[in-house]
Chain A
Amino acid sequence: MTLRLPTLLAAAALVLTTACTPGTGGGGGGDGTSFEFWSFAAINQKLSVDAYREKHPDVEVKLTEVGTSTETAQALTTALAGGKVPDLVLIQGDNLPKFVQQPQNFVDLRTLGADDITDDYLDWVMKQSVAKDGEVLGIPTDVGGMAIAYRTDLFAAAQLPTDPAAVSALWPSWEAFIETGKRYKQATGKAFIDNAATSVFYQAVNQVSEKYYSEGRDLVYDRNPQVRAAFDLGVAAATAGITAGQTSFESAWSAGLAQGQYAAVAAPSWMLNTIRSTAPDTAGKWAIAKIPGGAGNWGGSYLAIPKRAKNPQAAWNYIKEMQSPQGQLDHFVRVGALPSTPSVYQDEKLTSRQDPFFSDARIGRVYTDSLLGLKPFYIGPDSATIGQEFLNSITNVEQSGGNPATAWDDAVRNIKTAIGG
C-alpha cells in the first residue's frame, strides 16, 4: 500500500482543522438558541432533553453525559480553569460548595431573572447555591429524601413482617434497626445490610440539625455530639456482624444486590433507579419502608451556567421551563427524581405514583414525608472531605479489621490532615 504525499498532507490538514475548530457540530455555537449541556451518566437526563426539544424543535441541545457526579465536577473544574465550558452544567450537592466559594466562575442567575422563581424551591435547598454576596449560582433540580429499600422475600424467609407499615414499625430508631439486623442474621445466617458506612452512618448524619459546620459556618465536626452519635451508630452496625462488607457501588456490591446477599439497603429516591438497573431480575421483590430516626435528605443536584458560556440565555430558558414546579413534577413521573419544589408535593400525580418494581410503593409520598420537619444545616467547602474520612474510618472497622475503640480519633486526625485544620 502506498500513500501519496498529497493524500497524507490532506489528511493531516483535515485532522488539524477538525481539532482546531471549537464548537462545531451540535449546539453551543453561540447562536443564542442552542446550548451545550453537561450532565451525569445513568440518570436518564436524555428523557428531559427530548421532552424539551419536542416543545422547541428549533433549539439544538448538545447533551454530554460526562460520567459520575464526581467526574462531572472534576471535568467542570478543569474546564473553568481554562478550557471550553458548557452552557449548562449539572452539579451534585456535595460538590457544590467548592464552586459556590468561587462565584466569579458562574453567571449570577439573578441577572437572568432568578429572583422571580427562587421562592418555588425548598428554601434550605435553594440556600446552598447562594454565594456570600447573594449571587444565585444554581437552581436545585431534585432532592434525595431518605428511605430503606428491603427484599420482601428475604424478610419473609427470616420470619420478619413484609408489609411496609409493619416493617417501618420495626425500626423507630437506628438502634432498633441494628437489632432487627441481628434478628435477621440469627434467622438466616446472612448479612442484613450492604455496609455500615453508607447505609447507617451516612443516613444518620444527614438527620441532624447541625452537621460538620455550625450555624455560623465554623467547623464543629469534631465536637458536635450529633455527628459523634451518628458515627457511633455506624461503628455499632459495623461491629454487629450484620453487614456484608460491600462498599456501595463497587461491582461486588452490585453483584450482591442482584443475588440477595443482603436484605436491605439505604435508598434515597435516586437509589431506586440504581436498584432497578443493577438488579432487574428482582423486580417486585422489593418494598420501601421509612427511614429510622426521622427526617433527612441525602443528595440532590443543581443546574448552573458558567460565566464564559456562549449561550447563557438559551440555558436559562431551559432551566426556567424544565425546573419549574410543573417541569420537575413531569421529570418525577418520567424518572422518579424527587422534586425540590414543595408546591407539587400534594399533587395527585406525585402522591398517587406507585412503583411496581418496589411492590407498588407510593414513592412520591414516602420521600416527601421523609423531608417533612427536616432541620436544614449548612454544607461547607470541606463537608465532602470530612464525610469521606468518617466513611473511610467506619469501612476500615468493618472490612479491614480496624479498632472500633480508636475509630473516632483516627477519623478526626485524618480529617485534620486532609483539610489542614
Chain B
Amino acid sequence: MAITLVPAPRVAPPPLAPRTARGLGERLAPYAYIAPFFVLFAVFGLFPFAFTFYVALFDWNPIGDQVFIGVDNFTRMASDPRFWNAARNTVSIWFLSTVPQLLIALLLAHVLNHARLRFALFFRMSVLVPYVTSVAATAIVFAQLFDRDYGLLNWLLGLVGVAPVDFVQSTWGSHVLIATMVTWRWFGYTTLLYLASLQAVPRAVYEAAAIDGAGPWQRFRHITIPSLRPVIIFTVVTSTIGGLQIFTEPLLIAAGAPLTCGAVRQCQTLTLFLYEQGFGEFEFGYGSAVGVALFVVVVVIAAVNYLLSARIRADR
C-alpha cells in the first residue's frame, strides 16, 4: 500500500491591496475599542496630573500673571505651620479611624463567618449600608448628633451630668467626630473583604482546632488572623491612602469656616488645605505643590505595601 503524499493545492493569495487594508484595520481595531477609556484618562487623569507638577513651579494666579519661581512653593510649604498642622491632623484622624475600623471589621468578619449564624446573608448585606450612604448625608447627620447645643450625644452626656462638649471647635473632639464618620462609612466594606478571604479557609481547620480543645479566642488568634494577613495589610494600605485624602467630612462639619475646618484649623486635613489654597485663595501654584507632596507620600506608602506583600508571598 503506497501512500502518496500529495501536497494540498496552494491557495492563490488574495490580491494584495485589500489584504493590507483589512489587515491594518484588524490590527488597529483593538486599540480603537480601548481608546475611549485611554483618551478620557489622558484628558482627565494624566494631563491634569502632569500639569500639576508644572504649575507647582509657578506663582500661578488664574486670572493674572503666572511667574516661574522654581521650588519656592516647596520651601514655603516646608516652613508653613499650616501645612504641618494639616499633616498632623491627617495622621491623627487616620489613626483614630483606621485602628478601630480594622478591629471592628476583624471581629465582625469572624462572627459573620460563624457556621451556626442564622440570617447570615442579611447581616452580611446590612454592614454595607453605611458604605452606600452618601458622605454628605453621613456628615450632616453626624454633625447634628455631635452638635454642642442641640446634639443627641450631648443630651445623653447631660443626663449623666457631663458638661456639653464642643466637638467641632476642639481639636480632639473634631478628630473623634471625623474619625467616627470615616469608621462608620468603611467598617462594613472592610468586613466584607475579610469575610471573603475567611471563607477560603476550610471549615475543617476550625473543626480540628475545636476538637483539639481550642477556645473561640484561640481559634480567632491562631486561625483567623494568620489566614487574613495578606488582606489585613491590603486594607491597612488602602485605608491609609484613603485616610490621606479625607476631604468631605472636615469640609462639611464646620459650616462657619468650612475651608479651614474651624477657626484655628483644628481639623483641616491635607486635602482640605490643598483645596483652601487652590480654590479658596486661588493660589494654584502653592495648592499644586501641596498636591505633589501628597502624591509623594502616597507613592511611598504604596511602595511599602508592595515590599510587605512580596515578603509575605516569599514566606509561604
The residue on B at minimum CB distance from A402 is: B264
* Contact indicator A247/B256 (Cβ below 8 Å): yes
Task: Judge if A255 is at the interface, Cβ distance under 8 Å.
Answer: yes
In residues 384-421 of chain A, which contact B (Cβ within 8 Å)?
Answer: 385, 388, 391-393, 395-396, 399-402, 417-418, 420
Which stretch (B114-122, B144-152, B211-219) binds chain A? B144-152
Closest Cβ of chain A to B43, distance in Å, is: 14
Name the residue in A102, A261, A399 with the highest tally of chain B Cβ atoms < 10 Å from its Cβ: A399
Answer whether A252 and B147 are a contact pair too, CB < 8 Å, given A74-B280, A400-B169, A417-B80.
yes
In residues 119-160 of chain B, which contact A (Cβ within 8 Å)?
Answer: 147-150
* Contact indicator A252/B257 (Cβ below 8 Å): no
* Contact indicator B279/A392 (Cβ below 8 Å): no
**Residue from the list A102, A247, A261 in contact with B257, Cβ < 8 A:** A247
Task: Judge if B207 is at the interface, Cβ distance under 8 Å.
Answer: no
A11 to B78, CA, bound (A): 51
Closest Cβ of chain A to B189, distance in Å, is: 30
| Chain B 258-293 interface mask (CB, 8 Å, partner A; 1/0) | 001011101000000000000111100000000000
- B166: chain A residues at CB < 8 Å are 245, 399-400
Closest Cβ of chain A to B177, distance in Å, is: 14
* Contact indicator A81/B63 (Cβ below 8 Å): yes
- A74: chain B residues at CB < 8 Å are 279-280, 282
The residue on B at minimum CB distance from A254 is: B255
* Contact indicator B82/A417 (Cβ below 8 Å): yes
The residue on B at minimum CB distance from A256 is: B149
Closest Cβ of chain A to B285, distance in Å, is: 12
| Chain A 184-207 interface mask (CB, 8 Å, partner B; 1/0) | 000000000000000000000000
The residue on B at minimum CB distance from A106 is: B63
Task: Judge if A352 is at the interface, Cβ distance under 8 Å.
Answer: no
* Contact indicator A392/B260 (Cβ below 8 Å): yes
Closest Cβ of chain A to B278, distance in Å, is: 11
Name the residue in A101, A105, A251, A393 with the highest tally of chain B Cβ atoms < 10 Å from its Cβ: A251
Sample (17) of A-B pairs whose CB atoms are under 8 Å apart: A74-B279, A74-B280, A80-B62, A80-B63, A98-B282, A105-B63, A250-B256, A252-B147, A253-B256, A385-B281, A392-B263, A395-B256, A400-B266, A401-B170, A402-B264, A417-B80, A418-B82
Known: A385-B281, A392-B260. 16 other contacts (CB 8 A): A80-B62, A102-B63, A102-B64, A105-B63, A249-B255, A249-B256, A250-B256, A252-B149, A256-B149, A388-B257, A391-B263, A399-B166, A400-B166, A400-B171, A400-B264, A420-B76
Interface residues in chain A, defined as those with a beta carbon under 8 Å from any beta carbon in chain B: 74, 77-78, 80-82, 98-99, 101-102, 105, 245, 247-253, 255-256, 261, 385, 388, 391-393, 395-396, 399-402, 417-418, 420
